[in-house]
Structure 1
């Protein structure tokens, strides 16, 4: 393209950033063209702004006061405009200044101007403000009129452009071919968690389209050379997406510190910059998307101990049996041993490969979530669910001419939640689970529940003009449609259209997969909106919104249960938006028809358990599906604070009970495991109990086992503190458990293990959570006495 030539350019936005050049802000959109070129498009004409809400009517004198007070910030304009705040029309002042870096200070000054009641939208990041205003989204295609310009010196892009007109969003669902690069580091750790000021990086492994490469401090090498090789390799590979696992919390801060120690610059950004910590704790690599897959894994409720190998196995990308596994506390031993070092290198390579394969599974969803909520791909997983919902609402607020309320800290307010029925304990055959489709969003739509439709108790209003929530009495105007209602209706309609389109596509096609990930992203944001309304950090916070929604939800579940019982359906259990009933196809069909036609909500048959077992406790059950899969909800096996042996015991006990219908076979299995434990045949790693330090060590007043072990680790030179996961094994000896807890690294032989503790406090309790219902008692694990069979309990 000829320099200075103007043309239309279609590109996909990978990243966004801004800089101030010669006193003027420049927004950079880093993208990929259809032909695969990596480009930068610069916007030089957009300027930061915020709103001032006056106490009274806007006057010329007020405008002049504002200009005078803010004169040091190079004010470009102060204009009176009309906007809405919580649905009420306001006349406000829009203040536009020159430098986005001045906005925080200008906000403080503006808040003190006489006649100004509030300052709004001064805390929205500059490049995000630009995307909101133009309606464009990251991870999406846009069309822009641009002028070609020289590529800045050294920048790692194919072409550089300047915007002639603001870009516009394109309704195009495809994704360009992204080059991904997964990496992992191994550090010397003789004293436990490595210290970046003391302990060197030993190995950096990476995987890309061209395979796996391992850099290490072999003979004659050095850490400095290792770091330089990593930087050169990454720059030469030139990835669009950099994948890590816990890289924002560990790998990047560690590498940056070691780079400083060695005098190496990690210049891996496409603008030659180093990784730098940004919002939500993530590290930004300008021009690329740095994605920490641990952020995604942290929301996987099904995986309680979220190691890379556990998550990789759960998502089906790499089985533990297919890779090298080592005790990560002993990396230094593998490094120091010439015989073991090759195993460490293979382990590092497997970590990089697992991360790369995990990225191929996770990124399609991340891309659609990014495009939907407007957060760049490198931020969308790092952000909390509340933050994702909020950015989607901010974008919608601009569309509906609504002002964005300020963020502010509030104390937590509790309110009555969903209905949870006490289950009928025992084993039940052929149980159907009926789920309401998007129950809370549909309740909010039907009753127009929104912060801007809420009517305070002191406000008089015609009763026919409001919906009144059952139990709690909160009132919401029936008209006009509230902010939440408009947003949720648009989301549900968008998802409906996508699902209709999917019916016409080949499920094996790329287009089908993109539409599927998109509808999943919409579902996540739609269902999270109710929770957001009661989140104390929310801009659009309103406790009454969340409280009224759950109240109507309880009423809906009660009405459904009453109808089910009148039809002769036996109710086994109910929780939030689902009920468990005895399977009867004809009666279930009539119940579904009633809920949809009479109550106005959609309910569907979600699954049918061949057998399901309930204890007397709520939210605890295990069910067997027709395909042989077992659902385990609420038991120790899905909690992270029990030893691995307890989880394995409980999972196997459930499987035997439900599949073989003989609790005494399960007892035999437990007895066999106890024998293996007493003979020292259970690996020590399966006996480790993990607990997280929820505060700093000096804040603990009680000597809990993990606290005692953490203090011992600190005495030995290990780095421990708030947030650290502490693993301990209970060994033989007298005294309390805290006096017998030892770090895993200090236990050398299974002979040291207090088998009596593990039998009585871990293995037997885990098994009895299931088996005690069938008449099994603690003594049966030693006597093996047999009583009834499972058939006696139906």
Structure 2
């Protein structure tokens, strides 16, 4: 069972690392070119003779090419079989050199070759190891949770010495490394901190010096199959490597296990051959919707646990004083990293198995990237030639293309009771399958006389497209899994052991259906993505057009059946019973009518499309498009688009809004909601001027920490031309030695003064003398006013205690 894959440049062979051994394979890199063999040889002889030494073979092969251009031409086949030249070379590094064949194609000297011309090169930019997995996808046994071996996993974290500046490996020592693992066979937790200073802590192993620490760290890590880190790609492993080089220590993780650093977009990738390094930071950013993505934020979100806080600037003082708090802090980093790793591992293994790429790469892929590699695998199996990625003008032209997105109905503002939600199950994937929408089926010459044109386009009715074919398989697979899960819920076994096994099997199947759902829902976005190989603005445009048509038709049918649709967005709607058409609008009646309506409308929909009952809600508040809040029967509150689920507001704003929403949704008490706002304003005006982290004292209800506002760095600090509060603070943090990178979230507090806001933005732990008026006018009032105004309360009424408001005002 494949664990990892690598290319050994010295031996010029593929290394396949399984859970038991290393398998070495001969595999040659190649590309395709649209030119015949004689033309290529003649061109090389006369124009680029040095290319001859890189070519080991030229073979004529037949491939099916998808024509992504000339969509308007009804006589142009979308797919054509064409004979190309497959050029093989010895080394992956030779592929870019052979692309010179394409770069010279516009040269006038090509007139010397009347029997042919040098054309486009294809599949020249697929990484070598990924190419191997694509070509051998039917013979590779990837990790699969249905039959997974015992994998030894460990988490790794380290603390370094730095003060008042960014740490530098050539100057700043590694102080300690921490590890956490769980041996499931014997149910034993392993906690260890390696350091070279005496700390009073049971998990500490003391070594001679930093050199010994690095050697011990490598010895420990190489015993495991999987290493979890949190930002290990960009910090831990690059720092460890450079520090080892500075100390002249060979960084040895064992024979055939080399640490390799490579560039991956804006970030680094840190790989150890044969050991799967999973950096959880990009997975958390891809999967979770949080304000900040520090380790403590993700731990809080997933497990509701509070992590010990130690600022970077406190590490050196704790180290100098041999304070065991530093050991506990480092150990907690490792423990929570391990917990997060174990949480995400099953889902990542499922992605790896479906897409057909190794776990290391999958864990760093976006959903669009996964879709592309799934398409590459499927294309190889069908003998399709993968389209090239766009470059230069082609990419720029794609960026300029636009089309209308999904339909969003303006909500009926206010508070509503007894709400049902209905949505289409996988609307866009269902549309793609039902209408056979794909770049290789659009405007095919065989079906051009059809009357079923959509926006002037039509789709082949005789041959299924590459994207609908993959989606059909995925959705059928997910449906079968969900049927099994449904049966497991209704046939629980009484025996404890069987229950345990059933629960474990249930979880694994649930992970699989989740991964399929994420992939299936990513195909529409992929076709609309300007950098996609299988890009098609026309297909994406048709999909959203049909989506709008179906949701509008559903709204019309719902209202004809006695519902009042209060909001709709892309693939779902919220409705109440129309009082003018229904004598009884209570819960029982609306649920009965909903079931009857769903049965009727689903009989009219295409086979793969289904409108489903999503949920019943006791009450909801609808404000504007994409901004609303609901409460279900279990008093769970669902919030969409409002400030307390967004990162760019302070906690005082989020907490006040949350209290107001809770009061309105749970109790329907408008007067209490108004008083909450007034109390918050008064508390802000009377807040003692204490530092962040200090208790506010007395009976005050506001913690100074709740005044921190967060903003993300979207580019390098030096690239910002205007002075904004978070950039002003980011510069101060950088100057004191904090490590900052693109994507980091900067916290700041606004203090009193008459200077511009950016000049009054302060590092939170240094802030005193808060500007209460700023927080009242710019943080507290704007988000709650949106809610109160939606239910008919004006700003003036909020300031007036005399007028009594009840629910009767809103219904």
Deviation at 1:545, TM superposition (A): 1.0
Report if aligned partners of 1:174, 1:514 keep a CA contact under 8 Å in 2: no
SS in 2 for 1:116: coil
* Partner residue of 2:249 out of 253, 261, 264: 264
2:194 corresponds to 1:215: yes
Partner of 2:76: none
- Structure 2 residue aligned with 1:290: 277
> What is residue 93 of structure 2 aligned with on the other side?
101
What is the CA–CA distance in structure 1 between the aligned matches of 2:274 and 2:381, rounded to whole Å?
A: 28
- 1:475, 1:531 → 2: CA distance? 20
Change beyond 3 A, Cα 1:526–1:715: closer
Q: Aligned runs of 1:146-545 on 2, under 5 Å?
A: 173-191=146-164, 194-209=167-182, 210-219=189-198, 222-235=209-222, 238-268=223-253, 271-277=256-262, 279=264, 281-316=268-303, 318-320=304-306, 323-328=307-312, 330-337=314-321, 341-409=323-391, 410-411=395-396, 412=399, 413-455=401-443, 463-465=448-450, 467-469=452-454, 472-505=455-488, 508-545=502-539
Whole-angstrom CA distance in 1 between matches of 2:313 and 2:710: 14
Match of 2:541 in 1: 547
Cα distance in 2 between the residues matched to 1:758 and 1:110: 60
* Cα 1:510–1:623 shift into 2, 3 Å: same
Aligned to 2:137: 135
Matched, 1:610 2:618: yes
Q: Give 1:15-54 correspondences, 5 Å limit.
A: 15-22=4-11, 25-32=12-19, 38-44=20-26, 46-54=27-35
Q: 1:342 to 1:686 in 2, by over 3 A?
A: farther
Whose relative contact order is higher, 1 or 2, with alpha carbons under 8 Å and at least 6 apart? 2
Residues of 2 paired with 1:267 and 1:196: CA distance? 18
Q: CA deviation at 1:301?
A: 4.7
Looking at structure 2, the residues matched to 13 and 373 of structure 1 have their Cα atoms a distance apart, in angstroms, of: 14
The question of 1:84 aligning with 2:57 is answered: no
Q: Is the 8 A contact 1:52 1:92 kept in 2?
A: yes
Give the match for residue 598 of structure 1: 604
Q: CA RMSD in A?
A: 2.8
Give me the whole-angstrom Cα distance separating, in 2, the residues matched to 1:329 and 1:772.
45
Distance 1:657 1:139, change over 3 A: farther
Deviation sequence 1:449-501 (CA, Å, 0-9, x none):
11112229xxx7765447422xx333333232111121211211222233334
8 A contact 1:774–1:788 mirrored in 2: no
| CA deviation after TM superposition for structure 1 residue 557, in Å | 0.8
Alpha-carbon distance in structure 1 between the residues aligned to 2:519 and 2:598: 26
Per the alignment, do residues 653 and 139 of structure 1 end up closer, same or farther by CA in structure 2, a change over 3 Å counting?
farther
Mark the CA change 1:653 to 1:246 in structure 2 (over 3 Å): closer, same or farther.
farther
Residue 425 of structure 1, CA deviation: 0.8
Q: Return the alpha-carbon distance in structure 2 between the equivalents of residues 656 and 332 of structure 1.
A: 46
Aligned-pair CA distance for 1:658:
0.9
Deviation at 1:536? Answer: 0.7
- Cα shift at 1:283: 1.6
| Structure 1 pair 271–279 and aligned structure 2 pair: CA distance change class (3 A) | farther
Please state if 1:700 is matched with 2:679. Answer: no
2:645 is matched with which residue? Answer: 638
The separation in 1 between residues aligned to 2:141 and 2:651, in whole angstroms, is: 40
- Distance 1:334-1:614 versus aligned 2 partners, 3 A rule: farther
Q: Does 1:62 align with 2:70?
A: no
Structure 1: any 5+ residue segments left out of the alignment?
1-11, 33-37, 142-170
State the 1:269 CA deviation: 6.0
Partner Cα distance (1:88, 1:625) in 2: 54
Describe the SS at the equivalent of 1:764: helix
Q: In structure 2, which of residues 119, 122, 125 is the aligned counterpart of residue 120 of structure 1? A: 122
Cα 1:676–1:240 shift into 2, 3 Å = farther
Mapped partners of 1:712, 1:479: distance in 2? 64
For 2:52 and 2:750, the matched residues in 1 are separated by: 68
Partner Cα distance (1:723, 1:84) in 2: 39
Question: Residues 573-588 of structure 1: matches in 2 within 5 Å?
Answer: 573-582=567-576, 584-588=590-594
CA separation of 1:773 and 1:542: change in aligned 2, threshold 3 A: closer
3-state SS of the aligned residue for 1:432? strand
Secondary structure of the equivalent of 2:158? strand
Moved more, 65-74 or 352-361: 65-74
1:366-414 deviation line (CA, Å, top 9, x unaligned): 1000111122111213112211110000001011111011112312132
Flag the 1:685–1:215 CA change in 2: closer, same or farther, 3 A: farther
Which of these residues, 732, 757, 782, is aligned with residue 752 of structure 2?
Answer: 732
Asked whether the equivalents of residues 269 and 285 of structure 1 are also in contact (C-alpha less than 8 Å), the reply is: no
Contact 1:495–1:523 (Cα < 8 Å) also in 2? yes
Aligned in 2, Cα 1:270/1:788: closer, same or farther, shift over 3 Å? farther
SS in 1 for 2:671: helix
- Give the 3-state SS of the residue equivalent to 1:761 in structure 2: helix
Check 1:267–1:741 CA distance in 2 against 1; reply closer, same or farther (3 A cut). Answer: same
Which string of whole-angstrom CA distances, capped at 9 and with x for unpartnered residues, describes residues 714-747 of structure 1?
Answer: 5556565654433211111112212211122432
CA distance in 2, matches of 1:703, 1:767: 28
Contact persistence 2:66–2:439 (CA under 8 A): no
Structure 1 pair 345–718 and aligned structure 2 pair: CA distance change class (3 A): closer
Structure 1 residue 274: Cα displacement: 2.0
User: What SS is found at the alignment partner of 1:315?
Assistant: helix
> TM-score normalised to the size of structure 1?
0.85
In structure 1, the residue corresponding to 2:191 is in which secondary structure?
A: strand
1:769 Cα offset (Å): 2.9
- 1:40 and 1:399, CA in 2 relative to 1: closer, same or farther beyond 3 A? same
Other structure's SS at 2:147 match: coil
1:214-259 alpha-carbon deviations (Å, 9 max, x no partner) = 2335259644343333223223xx1111111222233222333333
Moved more, 205-214 or 105-114: 105-114
Corresponding residue for residue 779 of structure 2: 762
1:619 deviation in Å?
A: 0.3
Q: Is the contact between residue 4 and residue 276 of structure 2 (CA under 8 Å) also seen in structure 1?
A: yes
Q: Which blocks of at least 5 consecutive residues in structure 2 are unaligned?
A: 68-78, 111-116, 183-188, 199-206, 493-498, 578-589, 689-695, 697-701
C-alpha separation in 1, matches of 2:790 and 2:24: 68
Asked if structure 2 preserves the Cα contact closer than 8 Å seen for 1:14 and 1:138, the reply is no
Partners of 1:125 and 1:268 in 2: how far apart? 24
Tell me if the contact between 2:644 and 2:654 (Cα under 8 Å) persists in the aligned partners. Answer: yes
Instruction: Report the Cα distance in structure 1 between the residues aligned to 2:60 and 2:809, rounded to whole angstroms.
Output: 79
TM-score by length of 2: 0.84
Aligned partners of 2:179 and 2:334 also within 8 Å = yes
Distance 2:141 2:709 in 1: 41
Equivalent residue for 2:654? 647
Count, aligned residues: 726
Deviations 1:633-670 (A, max 9, x none): 10111111111222222222211221122133234334
